[in-house]
Structure 1
Amino acid sequence: MFARALANGFVWDDAALIVDNIGYRGFDARRLRWMFTTFHMANYAPLAWISMGVDYAVWGLDPVGFHLTNVIFHAANAALFFILARELILLGVGAGIDAGAVDAGAVAAALLFSVHPMRVESVAWASERRDVLAGFFFLSTLLFYVRDHSGPGGASPRRRAIALLAYAAAVLSKATVIPLPAALVALDIFPLRRLAPRPSSGAWRACLREKLPYLLLSAAGAALAVGAQMRSGNFARLSDYGMTSRLAQTAFGFGFYIVKTLIPAGLCALYPRPLGMSLVEPRVIAGILAAAAAALGLRKAGVRPEARAALWIYYSAMIFPVLGLLQNGGQSAALRYSYLSCLGWAVLAGTAVALSAARLRRGPGAAAPAALAAAAIPALAALTWSQTALWRDDVALWSDVYRQFPQSCDAQRGLGAALAGVGRISEAGTLARAALKNCPDRAPIFLQLGALAAAAGRSAEAEENIRRALALSPGLAEAHDALGGLLFSRGRVDLALPHFRAAVGREPRSAQRRDHLGAALAVAGDAEGAAAEFAEAVRLEPANPLYRGHLAQARGAVY
């Protein structure tokens, strides 16, 4: 069903991460240094950049190549999860179960994970290479860890080393794998049973000591992730989004992913975050009730206490960092966060199917879990096929977000930008004005209105809107660059230069900002200053022929 993603184009952040970014295009020392040092778009993911570099070397900017790699990694993850689920089910239910029943349960678990429509965002969005790549190494880590503690011959230094190397690669792919040490503790509780229901302090110390290498990798990954978010200014300030709202969002999100796993209706690329959330609003209460109902359901279903503990420890640890206490971005939830955090529910379902398959001879009642999975998997696949089509282009994607959240200024602005990208300027303007009415203090909306006015030839209106954006956000580099460009186009280089300098000051590693400043300095007669800026642009993006041409012209003027 994910073959449909191969027909999709680049959408949303793909423009900034892939299309307009040349930092990953090549494997010379400078490019590799960029991949391993950049916090571009608030992420630290050098292995993801390397994988995209391979895509570019083979396919250029043809989106089919980027999507194909995502699909291949997701298929590999489904295979890895099948192997892991088989071992976990066998450990959990005991060796007396029929091998065919265990295989049936593992197949069900792998399919319930891999064809679920909540996976679409991670697979069909080229930018989320980080999810599927990190997932590959994360699952490899879990598999070798389980085998190290359950396989024949006891613990193996080789398996332990492979698990650690895989985790290091996962950390270098995406920060969502940081809670893995807690996931390993969950496995120690069940099904590995290395920690008894009331383990001694010595057993805990041995367990934690063994996890130390993982904890060190996790801490390093956490430091890099926080640094990336802080450098980008992506964290919501406590003064803008208070602790009550964060706690409410956490309670909402904790139940949200459970509900959507069971009932994947109304899935959306963006769940806009409101300006504030209350602990007593209906969706927050619904999230709390959903989690409580899940806990009660597991108990009523006869799931062992140690298995329940392992499930909740795993889910809580994996989902907690993205629930809202450390809020980043404008979303209240995101389906991509379920890629690893909801694996436990798939294993639980697979175990139920395995037990059901083993007890078929006892009568039709015992077949209920297997029958339910057999009916659910094709239904989920059909939903995934439909959901994948929404990611074919920006207009389709943002039209769906706007359909579900018509009063959201994020949805209005997103659809407006998509429509402007295909030349539907009038409709884009209507949506941008609606967004401004809903969110009158958002600088990016004024900037969008300015860009639309400039595209329509209304220069004075464009300047007014860009200046209003700067009044709200004086450090917005994009607004300084846009105003500098507008003034430059009128021949007012003297007025444009301070804005170009401000843009470079805010984003000194942007080659485009450097190039714009260099062009203004050249027109102002400062050939040496222009050459210095063009040289820096070339240093940042050495493969860009435009910057190389500007540098050659500037050096010719100097010498």
Structure 2
Amino acid sequence: MNSRNRSHQRSVFRRRDGLLVFSILLTFSTVLCCEFVWLDHSEIEDAGYRVNSLDDLRRVFTTSLDDYQFRHGGESDSSGGYWRPLYALSISVDWWLWGNNPVAFHAENVIWHCLVVLLLHRIGGQILPRKPWTADAVFLSTFLFATLPINAQSVTWVSGRKDMMAAAFGLLALYRALSVDAATSDRTVRRRIRNIVEIVLAVSCSVLSKESGFIIPVIYVALLWTDTSRLSVPVMAGRFTAMLVTTA
């Protein structure tokens, strides 16, 4: 019976994953008709943040994006700036694949948003107690996150991709870490090491996309700090809501 219940729960989650993706595609379908705007012109079209050579590849990992943008001339304040090399590589690969085609860039942004939402949905199912109504609460809150206008800028603005990349990789790290905690029967050293490497790589990719990725280890420590089996449902619901707000 327990096996049947678990199979039914997985089936429900998969169907709801599909509904979430459909709702995102429906909500953001019009973005595919948009052009490049604002910083997209300087960062992408004018190659400000694009990587076009091996020297550019070295520079994008060793300098701030402000300095990198003026690598061929101009003045920049080298005392600070953002360091987001993975975002720069992402738009560079897109340009190499699609050229000056904003539709492809916008489509990839929508895909990143789908990944973030699906990971949030799964993590919500992990951290909330398995009660009959919690799956509904997780789905509803994730649905609101997926479709509310608060995320419109990151999804519809190509240069906002960095936010979703950092969130997706960070949530992937949390999902893998929580899965490891749940798999108490997994005792092999090799598999443990592999899991740790995957988590570290995911966190690193999050940080390389945007500095907000540094919050992911803090969130994970907060999750471990309290024994989830002793927490009340309202507290766990509040924790999931806090994760949604942090990711937004």
Settle same-fold status: TM greater than 0.5.
Answer: yes
- Higher Cα Rg, which structure: 1
Question: What SS is found at the alignment partner of 1:57?
Answer: helix
Q: What is residue 54 of structure 2 aligned with on the other side?
A: 29
Question: Is 1:12 aligned with 2:51?
Answer: no
Q: Distance in 2 between matches of 1:67 and 1:53?
A: 14
Contact 2:65 2:84 in 1 (8 A): no
Q: 1:165 to 1:192 in 2, by over 3 A?
A: farther
Contact 2:43 2:50 in 1 (8 A): no
Q: Deviations over 1:13-34 (max 9, x none)?
A: 22221222255253x4123113
Q: What is residue 76 of structure 1 aligned with on the other side?
A: 115
Q: Distance in 2 between matches of 1:76 and 1:46?
A: 20
Question: Is 1:176 aligned with 2:215?
Answer: no
Q: Deviations over 1:377-410 (max 9, x none)?
A: xxxxxxxxxxxxxxxxxxxxxxxxxxxxxxxxxx
Q: 1:139 to 1:340 in 2, by over 3 A?
A: farther
Question: Is 1:108 aligned with 2:131?
Answer: no
Contact 1:146 1:192 in 2 (8 A): no
The amino acid across from 2:32 in the alignment is L
Contact 1:82 1:107 in 2 (8 A): yes
Contact 2:49 2:65 in 1 (8 A): no
The amino acid across from 2:234 in the alignment is V
Q: 1:157 to 1:146 in 2, by over 3 A?
A: same
Contact 1:85 1:106 in 2 (8 A): yes
**Aligned pairs (5 A) from 1:396-435:** none
Deviation of 1:67 (Å): 1.0
Q: Distance in 1 between matches of 2:100 and 2:63?
A: 21
Q: What is residue 182 of structure 2 aligned with on the other side?
A: 150
Q: 1:63 to 1:302 in 2, by over 3 A?
A: closer
The amino acid across from 1:130 in the alignment is K
Contact 2:33 2:103 in 1 (8 A): yes
Query: Which one of 203, 218, 226 corresponds to residue 167 of structure 1?
Result: 203
Query: Which one of 222, 229, 234 corresponds to residue 303 of structure 1?
Result: 234
Q: Deviations over 1:68-108 (max 9, x none)?
A: 1111111111112211111122xxx24xx34xx44433322
Q: Deviations over 1:486-524 (max 9, x none)?
A: xxxxxxxxxxxxxxxxxxxxxxxxxxxxxxxxxxxxxxx
Q: Distance in 1 between matches of 2:234 and 2:127?
A: 15
**Aligned pairs (5 A) from 1:473-512:** none
Q: Deviations over 1:270-316 (max 9, x none)?
A: xxxxxxxxxxxxxxxxxxxxxxxxxxxxxxx9834x775x579x66x
Q: Where do 5+ consecutive residues of structure 2 fail to align?
A: 1-26, 67-80
Deviation of 1:164 (Å): 1.2
Across the two proteins, how many residue pairs are aligned to each other?
204
Deviation of 1:180 (Å): 2.0
**Aligned pairs (5 A) from 1:34-113:** 34-41=59-66, 42-89=81-128, 93-94=129-130, 97-98=131-132, 101-113=133-145
Q: Distance in 1 between matches of 2:42 and 2:90?
A: 17
Q: What is residue 341 of structure 1 aligned with on the other side?
A: 246
Q: What is residue 29 of structure 2 aligned with on the other side?
A: 3
Question: Is 1:132 aligned with 2:164?
Answer: yes
Q: Where do 5+ consecutive residues of structure 1 fail to align?
A: 198-300, 316-338, 344-559
**TM-score using structure 1 length:** 0.34
Q: What is residue 4 of structure 2 aligned with on the other side?
A: none
Contact 2:167 2:247 in 1 (8 A): no
Q: Deviations over 1:401-437 (max 9, x none)?
A: xxxxxxxxxxxxxxxxxxxxxxxxxxxxxxxxxxxxx
CA RMSD of aligned residues (A): 2.8
